[in-house]
Structure 1
Amino acid sequence: SVDESSVSLLLLAIHFSSPALRLLLEVPGFALGEKIRNELLQWAECTGCTLDVLLLPDGTSSGKKLLESEAPRAQVLDRVLNRPPDILIVSAAAELSPAPAPDRMRESALTIRPGMTLPPGKLAEILIRMDYDDEPEVVQKGEFARRGGVMDVFSPSETAPARIEFFGDVVESIRLFSETSQLSIGEIPEYHLILRSGAGEPEAQDSDFSEYVRLYSPRIVTLFPMECEGVLKRFGTEEMQKKWQKLHREDLWDHAFLLLDEIESAAVPETGKVLSPVFPSARHILKMIPEGTEQNMSDLVRRISANLIRQLSDEQYRIQIAGRTDGDLTLLYQWLEEESLQDVPGLECVRMSIPRGVLLPGEKLAFFSEYELYSSPRRLSTDRKSIARLPEDTFRKDDVRDAIDETLASDLEEGDYAVHVNYGICVFRGLKTVTEKQCVYEAMELEFEDDKKLFVPIWQAHCVSRYIGSQKGAVKLSKIGTARWNRIKTDAADSVRVLALDMLRMHAIRCKASGTAFPDDDLAQHLFEKSFPYTETPDQLRAAEEIKKDMESPRPMDRLLCGDVGYGKTEIAMRAVFKCVMSGRQAAILVPTTVLAQQHYYNFLERFAEYPVIIETLSRFRIKSEQRVIVERLKSGNIDVIIGTHRLLQPDISFQNLGLIVVDEEQRFGVAHKEMLKNLRTTVDVLTMTATPIPRTLYFSMSGMRDLSTIMSAPVQRLPVQTIVSQYDEQLIAGAVSRELQRGGQVYYLHNRVQTIDETAAKLRAMFPEARVAVGHGQMDEHELEDVMGAFIEGKTDILVCTTIIESGLDIPNANTILIERADRFGLAELYQLRGRVGRWRRQAYAYLLLPKHGILTGDVRKRIAAMRKYTHLGAGFKLALRDLEIRGAGNILGAEQSGHINAIGFSLYCDLLRTVTAQLKGEEPALKRECNIYLDFVEYALTAPSSKAAASFSPEYINSERLRLDAYRRLHSLRDESALMELRKELADRFGRLPEAAENLLLCAQIRLIGMAARLSSITCSEGRILMSRGQELIKINGKVPNLPDLCTPEAKLRVLIGMLKNFFLKKTI
């Protein structure tokens, strides 16, 4: 066989020798295919050649509704038919997965261009036949949304969704837009639509991949035949093995496999160059290791590379060392000086990117990459378009607060408990159309105590939010027409003031305390960060800089790092720990479970392997005698990094020179442990990480009590976990497990009863006799459990039957299917964390929530399961955390004393009070901004109005989704200045089309309000032509008089004239 490190070079050589030859490379698994593709693209970039390489994703053998995960497969199949790549890489599982018949794929494709006649209704019918989902907003491939004369659609074949604007039945324009901000990017000449799925449907008489191979007509490169067959023999069905044999002996035989004996003679005939890696495999490195060497891997690789460079220079080679950026070149020059290589003849540093070093003996030319110099794996390339993230630039505190406020408001559904800021707790009964005084308007129907109804005009939607109390169970509705609600709010405000004062006192103590000011980043820090094998997301880079800046300050750091499951928080923590220990201080990582402590221990050992850092773990996995030794070594300073559970907070633990504490999932620690951590915060740097943010923690951060960093960007090409809810079904289980094993993955099977877990494992062994099944639970002997978890992490176990010990933090990229028995017995936060154990890689992951066959689900269980179904998109942690609070109550997250007040007024209003009081105590303007009330007698905030008045509203015809319409009203009220209003106007026109007159009038009214706020007015009233403006009790006059509005013919004209007059009054300061 061929060494894996040489495959990409070998394929490139074949391509150079025969550029017109199409190649199909078969690999045993997706991971190897992805690695080879990335290396090929990097080689193409640095050699300046154009090379088109595609990797076919695995499919699903399910005949059920086609899933979003099939979109990337559909995109590749479409390319094979219409724009065949130079090299196509397929795994055994991908090759055997069903696919739509090529004819059906071609016939379903549609290219849309401006000027073509295509009624919007007809296009919607076509998209439904292509299995696209009709949604209020388009956020992922395979979705479309229709809003009047505008249609949004996201084709699997494209990198971004398109906004198609119609004029009648004619396509007027096509614009790409961002699925996160929903704003247009720019116009395009055409947009290609294909089937949503790359999987076949039985009813469509679909086929498999072999038909595409015939049309593609490649030479098939088989370098891993034994490995491919091995995967199928272990986990494939007999039918799949027969299909594989037929595929290669009959269906594809005409394509003449390109075998190793042909490949070995591959060269580039035009120049006679022969490509070979500098270090083709580990065998070559071992031969170069001097005898008696006792060095870490980093020093060893540096020494070997330096010796090789000198040897090649002696042999008259020209040597080029590649760096991707100017910063990389600076580091390379430093490295050359440290190794005394700066004056070696024929050596130069060049700016380019190569995955690994290459020797060209015929040319006497050698290329070195960072891989050879630093022993760092090459980073995976990043396509900026594939980064799922919220809007660009700094993610400010206000942004986080707005995200939470929007979640509390926008997820309000009919039947939910709600709270009106002026009237109290109620039930939201949906939007209703109300007719009154010749006006038709939309209103939110709210139900209070004694079935009393209140209809709140939709333009006052900002007054209503979802109710979250502190206790689970029945909610007492407020009574309209009494002073009780105002008394309740006053009591809560008084209590909040006491809490805020305590928080400010702790904050002041921390600000005055003197901690460690760590030095600026040095070369070692840069090299450590460069050795991260993936490209960081922008949010990761920003969070890392914020944390390191805090560490360089003498004030003790107290920062919260908030990011969804699998978003790369641990890597950021590792960089902070590295900065700490390289400065001669100790670091402690505090985690909630022993299994997570062990996982972090393995990860830190691997990440820090090249550096002289001593890492230990302290948990029940260690016997008493080992613990005593570790405690002594920690006290004497002989341990740099200690990872442990609450054992680290025991009285016998002391440090010689503690500099940093990293707390993972703080909310899972008890009250006593939190008190200990609170005291530590005033003396050492503390970094707290959380994936399921308790909003209380976030509001504290946003109030300035703690600093906040957020990671809202999903890692590159990450897919949301597909969540399947089903009754317990052995056939479903067998299909789910076998599909994962066939593609070379691993499976979690969660059975949370220790008494029967071995029976479940035996059942799975009977189902899958070739699979390696292990059992892990918290009552096992510590060393046995450690061995079980270690084997699963190392890929030596295929199926782990376990309890909830896997809930927190386990990061095993190859495990991408989890089955959860009796999902009805888990809380929402637990289900979310468990689902987060899979989907930590680029492969589509699946979470199966299995419910009992016979049994009645309670209301809370139904809500939890519905939330898991609904919130599957990347970054759903905010919404799930809030939904969990709603279902189970906020409890005593602010302490028992505050719990009653939260229950009385609701979590959202309580947080508003906390923000306002905290700002007042700090001498700042309250977060809840000053308001200016507007009343204009010639305007009605209604869908329709008499001819003498202007209607101002967002109509259902303009924004047809109730949720988006409510959001639009809330956002309009939350605007802070006129520039933000202009941005909203552009966004509305972009997303929903040209603004109708009623929507324009509504924005003009909002502009009048914003002008009044900027002038610090409390009200603007226009009655019978008189403009009455007040500031508190003071009536504002212009030149000593109350101004009048000119008598104009239309109400719309009056709005524009009033805006001009107000601007003239206040810009010229005539008051």
Structure 2
Amino acid sequence: MMNMDGKHQGLIEPLKALEGMQELLQALLKKQNVKVINMVDACKAHFLYAISEFVKASPIIITYDEGSTRRLTEDLQFLIGSENIYVYPARDILFYSADVHSMDITSARIRVIEALNEQKKGAFIIPIEALLNPLSPQETWRTYSRTLHVGDVIDLAKLEAYLVEIGYSRVAKVEGMGQFAVRGGIIDIYTPIDNEPYRLELWDDELDSIRAFNVQTQRSIHKIDSLKIVPNQEIIFPLTLLRKAIPSIREEMKLVTKRLREEGHRESAITLEAHVKESIEQIENDISPKGLELYVPYTELATVSLLDYIKPQTILYLDEPLKSEERANRILKEYEESMKDRLQYGHILPKQIELMFTYEDIAEKLAHFPNLLLMNLDREISGVKISKKMSLKVYENNTFYKSLDLLEKDIKEWKRKRQRIIILSGSKTKAQKLGEELEDRGVFTAYSESLQEAPLEGQILIAKGALGKGFFYEEIGLHIVADKDLFGKEKNKKPRKKYQGAKIQSFLELNPGDYVVDELHGIGIFKGVEQIVIEGISRDNLKIEYADNSTLYVNINQMDRIQKYIGAEGKVPKLNKIGSSDWKKSKAKVKKAIQDIAKDLIKLYSTRQHLRGFVYDKDTLWQKEFEEMFPYEETDDQLQAVEEVKTDMESTKIMDRLICGDVGYGKTEVAIRAAFKAVQNNKQVAYLVPTTILAQQHYNRFLERMEGYPVNVGLLSRFRTPKQMKETLEGLNKGLVDIVIGTHRLLSADVKFKDLGLVIIDEEQRFGVTHKEKLKQMRHQVDVMTLTATPIPRTLHMSLIGVRDMSVLEEAPMQRKPIQTYVIEYSEDFIKDAINRELSRGGQVYFLHNQVKNIEEKTERIRELIPHAKIAFAHGQMSERELEKIMLNFIEKEIDILVCTTIIETGLDISNVNTIIINHADKMGLSQLYQLRGRVGRSDKMGYAYLMYEKNKVLKEIAEKRLQAIKQFTELGAGFKIAMRDLEIRGAGNLLGAQQHGHMEAIGYDLYCKMLAQVVSEEQGEVIEEEFETTIEIKIDAYIPSDYIFDEVQKLDIYKKIASIQNDKDYYDIQEEIEDRYGNLPCNVQNLLDIALIKALAHELYIVAVSEIQQEVCFKFKPDAKLNPDKLLEVMQLYPRKLKFVGGKEPSLKWDLTGENRKDLLVYIKNILQELKKLKS
């Protein structure tokens, strides 16, 4: 199948001896249908992997549900490597009706289509329902795919038209799959089959280079020679075909709207008419309409199934085909009922129901391939002629319940019977340790690095590996024991595709109408960039409007003093007047507040530096083993945070560290490792959480992680009986309880520890003043770790280095899949579909309805829609005990659907809830939506978020703008960044105290962070020099032409970067970035860079102005500039009769321009400043 270099051959070689195996392989090689019965789920991946290796062909597996897909995928990841696995996910029925949807499922499907098209080697796993969706035929796919090579001649206009036709969106800046951007002779494109976007650079009409680039920095990474472009949609057809269909679409619309009006559904008729007319208008204007595939039945376009992409005579592995048939028919029935409801209420037209294949269509296609049926029971499959049937004697292993005694007993019995034994363990360390423990009991094992050889009769091999469950082939006496058999649950690092969450970073996306902060003049409104020509010299300026409609033009090279105003979401700041003293007063007031808080922070930090804390030992063998038991791959940020915490604990100082990271980014695991380390040193740990529910969740998590170790975990909360509470309190006092988890009950006077070493505080800002005071006192006595889910911005983190120990987790964990987000018009049909699909896969649902007054009414309506489900509602006005009871029932799966308000926004971690429906999403803040959406997708199941709005009502302007931002939400574009920035402000407030919110709003968030950094430096004794402005007035064009960077937002971003140049390194770095992203620098842009460097050099030399006056360039120094006359003389001697010094109150150097070439003017000025810098005293 693929060259495994003998890897894992020892796992499958014994299967060749199974009775009937050789005949089965012969039948398969003759392309006949075969059936294997008495299969158990545990051995299916192993068995089909063996067959595929024996027949030397990639397995294509048709699965019957999400569970079977996941099981086979995870087992095959170990057997053949995750990079060789292609999973073809099913589409959501709602996919066709959403205004906007995530690209993740589409791109995953396209990757599989292309892998089959390219006949790539690997295991293809296809759920039966995924085959029901139609695709373009393979010839069409190939026709519309193109490979570009360096050196090709490219017609740019035709390339753009081609990309639009195959489903790519043209954008200003490529940030997600399926997008492209054109800037002069540079084309950026992100295809759905690539892990990174690519930049094509043309030289005239020749493709000069192809470079991969980083989405976040937009910088090139490496070069390649060719790039394959595939369609960004599964069905490709020219809009000319659709235009031909317009008359029949119109005709059908008239019939349906007439019927709806006659039946009294006037509103539904109006909705349908509006939808269809909008689509027709888009088609007439060569724009792909929303739900493009819905119009396929009106065209003569041929469509096929994914099966038509598979090479004829390929063996298909059918996992429980009868279950697949049952599943497909159930999905089709749900689809039909859903579509009938939509048809009745005017959401679709009649022909749009004919979109899916039937199971009969799929069965007919399956019959064209040789099938290997994997079945538990021997049942007939109508229409399938079986040439060979093989019956297995294979059984799932019993669980050993962490008992080595039971394992030892069974292994000794197996050895006595001369059976072969392979034990797979999650890591090499664990495997070797298990071997040592068994040898201590007289059971001798061998460690195998790659399982190239099978064990001999009566031999035990132990290897690093991961299967979901172990099994036993009785006929050949082969036992395969998995971690789950030993520990009762899977304990293996799962290599997953890494979905990178966007890192929190500063950004500037200025648009006309945005509020800005000018450090000199205060808050104004940005009106745009205007080019002003003075004495024939062109410069770009920012136009800013202040109070009383007064206007200020800020030269672009002074842009470093301008920031976008960021305050709390939805709050409008007060504009300042130019020349008024209000702004100075605001800044002075904020500075005073910052000084107070900085003094407190520094005093606390300094006090703790001098207090001697407990010095913990270096990591023990147990610690290393315990950390290896973590079932997932840690992120780099997590590992760094753990390292920082351990360094604190092993030092003499008392730890007070903040661990900051988004919900689900792994803060709890960092805390668990620190707690385990403390217990290893005979210290007790208190874990403080804000709610009873969270206490229970963390208690369960700690019990699970500490299993198998002599660590006693206690819980103090209202969910415990008085007897349990008494036992825990006594245990803490006597040192019998090592770790206690609880609410503020832990701070009560009766809670006495024998030897408390570490306190972990979850979301400190949610505790009351009294509790916070008590926690403050603790910080002088024991190590303290605080966890917060509210993001802390990088700027604030950097400002506080040296006064606050912080670890920031910015990287999304590898096992979290992106949440499929749909923005959709409110519809009860859609709600019913979304809820039913989640309940059918054993999950639970949040229905968010943020109106307490009618939440009961809404709950009743949901109950009518989903009568078979258990439904409850929860809101913040309930009593604490009532709310706790409902939430506990929900956690324990006694409730299927929770209708709730935004009380679920923080803290809860329920991995079984993977669908959230947010009603009236247009009324929510972006940051709120971001956090609410993060409530789902907390496991390895796909999470779904449906953001619903009422389309037919007249929206307020602010709601409309927000809705636009929500529609960008799925692309992690500007909407996501705004949400992040709003959350950062909350994070800053939580960190520095709520009263700081007002100060941030008064002067803007970025300026606040800048002032904080300055004040911290001052308070630490650094000498802060008085700020002064350096102006550059040289008569030379310096601006970014619109034909070089046409997008205003990007142009401003580049202006901001240029204005921030401080030294040669910045200069060359930004020059390289601009050339990389936009092509060769025009001389105006080069001038701009030179002026920025001149300004930085001049400022460093205490020069307040570099100005060209008639035939001279004057370098004017600050009155208090430290000038060394001898060294000045040295520079003047380098330019005899050209450079002269003028003393006095305002000393200056003057350079005579007579006879100089103006073309090199900026180079001369740079050179003079570089010489002055060399001689700086």
User: Which residue of the partner structure matches residue 127 of structure 2?
Assistant: 91
- Residue 543 of structure 1, aligned match among 636, 641, 650: 641
* Deviations 1:548-591 (CA, angstroms, capped at 9, x unpaired): 22222232222222222332222222222222233333323333
* Deviations 1:342-364 (CA, angstroms, capped at 9, x unpaired): 99767245377532589999999
* Cα distance in 2 for residues equivalent to 1:979 and 1:482: 39
Does the CA-based 8 Å contact 1:23-1:219 persist in structure 2? yes
**Counterpart amino acid of 2:678?**
C
**Unaligned ranges ≥5, structure 2:** 1-37, 236-291, 338-355, 379-389, 451-462, 1140-1150
* Cα distance in 2 for residues equivalent to 1:10 and 1:784: 51
**Unaligned ranges ≥5, structure 1:** 265-273, 287-296, 391-399, 939-948
Does the CA-based 8 Å contact 2:135-2:306 persist in structure 1? no
**2:19 aligned with 1:19, yes or no?**
no
User: Which residue of the partner structure matches residue 2 of structure 1?
Assistant: 39
Please show how residues 776-787 of structure 1 align to structure 2 within 5 Å.
Answer: none
* Cα distance in 2 for residues equivalent to 1:37 and 1:899: 48
- Residue 937 of structure 1, aligned match among 1034, 1039, 1048: 1034
Q: CA distance change for structure 1 residues 4 and 987 in 2, over 3 Å: closer, same or farther?
A: farther
**Counterpart amino acid of 2:846?**
Y
User: Which residue of the partner structure matches residue 42 of structure 1?
Assistant: 78
**Counterpart amino acid of 2:490?**
P
User: Which residue of the partner structure matches residue 68 of structure 1?
Assistant: 103
Q: CA distance change for structure 1 residues 1040 and 217 in 2, over 3 Å: closer, same or farther?
A: same
- The worse-fitting range, judged by mean Cα deviation, of 1035-1044 and 915-924 is 1035-1044
Deviation at 1:531, TM superposition (A): 1.8
* Cα distance in 1 for residues equivalent to 2:892 and 2:41: 20
**2:208 aligned with 1:120, yes or no?**
no
SS at match of 1:816: strand
Q: CA distance change for structure 1 residues 89 and 318 in 2, over 3 Å: closer, same or farther?
A: closer
User: Which residue of the partner structure matches residue 397 of structure 1?
Assistant: none
Deviation at 1:689, TM superposition (A): 2.3
SS at match of 1:601: helix
* Deviations 1:126-159 (CA, angstroms, capped at 9, x unpaired): 2222222222322221111211111111111122
Please show how residues 680-695 of structure 1 align to structure 2 within 5 Å.
Answer: 680-693=778-791
User: Which residue of the partner structure matches residue 809 of structure 1?
Assistant: 907
* Cα distance in 1 for residues equivalent to 2:1070 and 2:1034: 26
Does the CA-based 8 Å contact 2:791-2:987 persist in structure 1? no
SS at match of 1:254: coil
User: Which residue of the partner structure matches residue 90 of structure 2?
Assistant: 58
Does the CA-based 8 Å contact 1:434-1:443 persist in structure 2? yes
Q: CA distance change for structure 1 residues 822 and 598 in 2, over 3 Å: closer, same or farther?
A: farther
Q: CA distance change for structure 1 residues 26 and 129 in 2, over 3 Å: closer, same or farther?
A: same
**2:364 aligned with 1:250, yes or no?**
yes
* Deviations 1:377-420 (CA, angstroms, capped at 9, x unpaired): 35455478754565xxxxxxxxx7xx3xx33xx13332222221
- Residue 281 of structure 1, aligned match among 385, 393, 396: 396
Does the CA-based 8 Å contact 2:567-2:982 persist in structure 1? no
Q: CA distance change for structure 1 residues 280 and 192 in 2, over 3 Å: closer, same or farther?
A: farther
* Cα distance in 1 for residues equivalent to 2:955 and 2:744: 36
- Residue 203 of structure 1, aligned match among 295, 298, 304: 295
User: Which residue of the partner structure matches residue 943 of structure 1?
Assistant: none
TM-score by length of 1: 0.83
Q: CA distance change for structure 1 residues 167 and 535 in 2, over 3 Å: closer, same or farther?
A: same
Please show how residues 593-672 of structure 1 align to structure 2 within 5 Å.
Answer: 593-622=691-720, 627=725, 630-672=728-770
User: Which residue of the partner structure matches residue 602 of structure 2?
Assistant: 504
Deviation at 1:606, TM superposition (A): 2.6
* Cα distance in 2 for residues equivalent to 1:305 and 1:1017: 80
User: Which residue of the partner structure matches residue 353 of structure 2?
Assistant: none
Over the matched positions of the two proteins, sequence identity in percent amounts to 33
User: Which residue of the partner structure matches residue 293 of structure 1?
Assistant: none
Does the CA-based 8 Å contact 1:590-1:644 persist in structure 2? yes
User: Which residue of the partner structure matches residue 244 of structure 2?
Assistant: none
Q: What is the root-mean-square deviation of aligned Cα atoms in Å?
A: 4.3
* Cα distance in 2 for residues equivalent to 1:1056 and 1:117: 38
* Cα distance in 2 for residues equivalent to 1:1010 and 1:563: 36
* Cα distance in 1 for residues equivalent to 2:391 and 2:906: 46
Deviation at 1:834, TM superposition (A): 1.4
Deviation at 1:226, TM superposition (A): 6.0
**Counterpart amino acid of 2:1032?**
Y
* Cα distance in 1 for residues equivalent to 2:862 and 2:810: 38
Deviation at 1:966, TM superposition (A): 1.8
Deviation at 1:836, TM superposition (A): 0.7
Q: CA distance change for structure 1 residues 1039 and 535 in 2, over 3 Å: closer, same or farther?
A: same
* Cα distance in 2 for residues equivalent to 1:27 and 1:413: 50
* Cα distance in 2 for residues equivalent to 1:345 and 1:699: 54
Does the CA-based 8 Å contact 2:516-2:562 persist in structure 1? yes
Does the CA-based 8 Å contact 1:718-1:839 persist in structure 2? yes
SS at match of 2:1129: coil
User: Which residue of the partner structure matches residue 1072 of structure 2?
Assistant: 986
* Cα distance in 2 for residues equivalent to 1:20 and 1:477: 70
User: Which residue of the partner structure matches residue 317 of structure 2?
Assistant: 221
User: Which residue of the partner structure matches residue 565 of structure 1?
Assistant: 663
* Cα distance in 1 for residues equivalent to 2:440 and 2:294: 65
**2:466 aligned with 1:355, yes or no?**
yes
* Cα distance in 1 for residues equivalent to 2:881 and 2:1131: 87
* Cα distance in 1 for residues equivalent to 2:980 and 2:824: 23
Q: CA distance change for structure 1 residues 883 and 783 in 2, over 3 Å: closer, same or farther?
A: closer
SS at match of 2:96: coil
SS at match of 2:449: strand
SS at match of 2:176: coil
**Counterpart amino acid of 2:577?**
K
User: Which residue of the partner structure matches residue 269 of structure 1?
Assistant: none
Deviation at 1:453, TM superposition (A): 0.8
- The worse-fitting range, judged by mean Cα deviation, of 743-752 and 785-794 is 785-794
* Cα distance in 2 for residues equivalent to 1:495 and 1:1021: 39
Does the CA-based 8 Å contact 2:60-2:126 persist in structure 1? no
**Counterpart amino acid of 2:396?**
S
Please show how residues 142-541 of structure 1 align to structure 2 within 5 Å.
Answer: 142-198=178-234, 201-205=293-297, 207=303, 209=305, 211-212=307-308, 218-225=314-321, 228=324, 237-238=333-334, 245-247=359-361, 249-260=363-374, 281-283=396-398, 285=399, 297-298=401-402, 300=403, 302-304=404-406, 329=428, 333=432, 336-337=435-436, 339-341=438-440, 347-348=446-447, 350=449, 353-356=464-467, 377=490, 379=492, 381-382=494-495, 387=500, 403=505, 406-407=506-507, 410-468=508-566, 475-541=573-639
Q: CA distance change for structure 1 residues 159 and 728 in 2, over 3 Å: closer, same or farther?
A: closer
**Counterpart amino acid of 1:521?**
D
- The worse-fitting range, judged by mean Cα deviation, of 571-580 and 31-40 is 31-40
**Counterpart amino acid of 1:121?**
A
SS at match of 2:907: coil
* Cα distance in 2 for residues equivalent to 1:470 and 1:575: 36
- The worse-fitting range, judged by mean Cα deviation, of 589-598 and 419-428 is 589-598
**2:972 aligned with 1:883, yes or no?**
no
Q: CA distance change for structure 1 residues 334 and 212 in 2, over 3 Å: closer, same or farther?
A: same
Please show how residues 658-807 of structure 1 align to structure 2 within 5 Å.
Answer: 658-693=756-791, 698-699=796-797, 702-716=800-814, 718-741=816-839, 745-752=843-850, 756-757=854-855, 759-769=857-867, 771=869, 773=871, 775=873, 789=887, 792-793=890-891, 798-807=896-905
* Bigger-Rg structure (1/2): 2
Q: CA distance change for structure 1 residues 857 and 126 in 2, over 3 Å: closer, same or farther?
A: same
- The worse-fitting range, judged by mean Cα deviation, of 864-873 and 657-666 is 864-873
* Cα distance in 2 for residues equivalent to 1:378 and 1:730: 42
Does the CA-based 8 Å contact 1:724-1:848 persist in structure 2? yes
Q: CA distance change for structure 1 residues 889 and 336 in 2, over 3 Å: closer, same or farther?
A: closer
- Residue 997 of structure 1, aligned match among 1083, 1089, 1094: 1083
**Counterpart amino acid of 1:982?**
Y
* Deviations 1:922-955 (CA, angstroms, capped at 9, x unpaired): 02366x99778353534xxxxxxxxxx3x23333
User: Which residue of the partner structure matches residue 1092 of structure 2?
Assistant: 1006
Q: CA distance change for structure 1 residues 980 and 885 in 2, over 3 Å: closer, same or farther?
A: closer
Q: CA distance change for structure 1 residues 779 and 974 in 2, over 3 Å: closer, same or farther?
A: same
Q: CA distance change for structure 1 residues 551 and 885 in 2, over 3 Å: closer, same or farther?
A: closer
**Counterpart amino acid of 1:690?**
T
Q: CA distance change for structure 1 residues 995 and 639 in 2, over 3 Å: closer, same or farther?
A: same
